[in-house]
């Protein structure tokens, strides 16, 4: 039986980091939207969701059944006629964002893992309204460099622990392959999943979450705090096979 609501992580699950959905994946997501509600939850900003996913879906895709949860669930957007309408946003103040940015730089220097004096591929620290994200190599780093930087999560784990100690009043989590995300306390993927389940009146066990880091310390770990069913995947190819299985 197909779940009443299917959540997907984005980078490493539906697509490679910061890359658009392939034609095959876009077609499968559209087919899934025709039969159930689909939500995407990841640390990226709304623009990343639109570019990587929405703009890749075929014409006629049932966008009314698609829900977007940027910044790790700190925001929720739903389709309203021809626009994406914000349902909620757990926004950080500019003062909070400045405090977080200062701590991110201090943690990078103390751990010795990021040298801010060296050039980066775009901004290393980005304020996304409801989240501040630290990207070790910069926001636009090539995919192959991202994969090489921290394959065993050791660098991100060290950064996360250092930052969390300095920012006990916020939630600090590992994001993508080179990033750390900071949001308001207790605002994480579990929060986003629960909020959408409540909004759609879906019991958590009737929903499914698909992600590539459903492990201790992974960026999908918070999902285990909910009653949502989970399926771990190794990457977009395995996600494609899983969607095909659901549709069959």
Q: How confident is the model at residue 218 (pLDDT cuts 50, 70, 90)?
A: confident
Q: How far apart are CA 82 and CA 57, in angstroms?
A: 15
Helix H or strand E encompassing 96: helix 94-111
- What is the per-residue pLDDT across 137-176, written as a single tens digit (0 to 9) for each? 998 899 899 989 999 889 999 999 999 999 999 999 888 8
**pLDDT at residue number 177:** 84
Q: How confident is the model at residue 216 (pLDDT cuts 50, 70, 90)?
A: confident
Q: Give domain 94-184's CATH architecture.
A: 2-Layer Sandwich (3.30)
Coil, helix or strand for 16? Answer: coil
**pLDDT at residue number 17:** 84
Q: How far apart are CA 139 and CA 185, in angstroms?
A: 24
DSSP 11: B
Q: How far apart are CA 188 and CA 206, in angstroms?
A: 20
Where in the chain are the domains? 5-90+187-247, 94-184
DSSP 65: G
**pLDDT at residue number 237:** 97
Report the pLDDT averaged over residues 20-40: 98
Q: What percent of the chain has pLDDT over 90?
A: 88
Q: How far apart are CA 38 and CA 30, in angstroms?
A: 10
Q: How confident is the model at residue 215 (pLDDT cuts 50, 70, 90)?
A: confident
Nearest partner of 156 among 138, 171, 139, 136, judged by Cα: 136
Domain 5-90+187-247 maps to which CATH number in 3.40.50.1000, 3.30.70.260, 3.40.50.620, 3.90.550.10? 3.40.50.1000
Q: How far apart are CA 62 and CA 109, in angstroms?
A: 47
- What is the per-residue pLDDT across 105-127, written as a single tens digit (0 to 9) for each? 999 999 999 999 999 999 999 99
Q: Which residues, in sequence order, are bridge partners of residue 134? A: 125, 180
């Amino acid at each position: 039986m197909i779940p009443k609501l299917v959540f997907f992580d984005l980078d490493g699950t539906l697509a490679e980091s910061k890359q658009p959905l392939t034609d095959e994946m876009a077609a499968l997501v559209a087919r899934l939207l025709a039969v159930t509600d689909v939500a995407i939850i990841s640390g990226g900003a709304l623009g990343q969701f639109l570019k990587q996913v929405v703009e890749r879906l075929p014409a006629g895709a049932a966008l009314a059944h698609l829900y977007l949860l940027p910044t790790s669930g700190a925001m929720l957007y739903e389709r309203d006629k021809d626009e994406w309408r914000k349902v909620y946003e757990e926004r950080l103040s500019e003062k909070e964002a400045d405090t977080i940015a200062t701590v991110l730089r201090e943690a990078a220097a103390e751990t010795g893992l990021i040298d801010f004096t060296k050039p980066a591929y775009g901004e290393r620290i980005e304020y996304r309204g409801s989240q501040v994200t630290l990207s070790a190599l910069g926001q636009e780093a090539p995919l192959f460099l991202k994969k090489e930087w921290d394959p065993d999560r050791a660098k991100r784990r060290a950064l996360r622990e250092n930052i969390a100690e300095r920012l006990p009043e916020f939630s600090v989590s590992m994001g993508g392959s080179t990033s750390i995300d900071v949001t308001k306390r207790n605002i994480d993927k579990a929060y986003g999943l629960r909020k959408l389940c409540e909004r759609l009146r879906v019991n958590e066990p009737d929903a499914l979450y698909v992600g590539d880091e459903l492990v201790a310390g992974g960026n999908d770990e918070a999902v285990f705090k909910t009653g949502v069913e989970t399926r771990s995947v190794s990457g977009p190819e395995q996600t494609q096979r899983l969607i095909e299985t659901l549709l069959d």
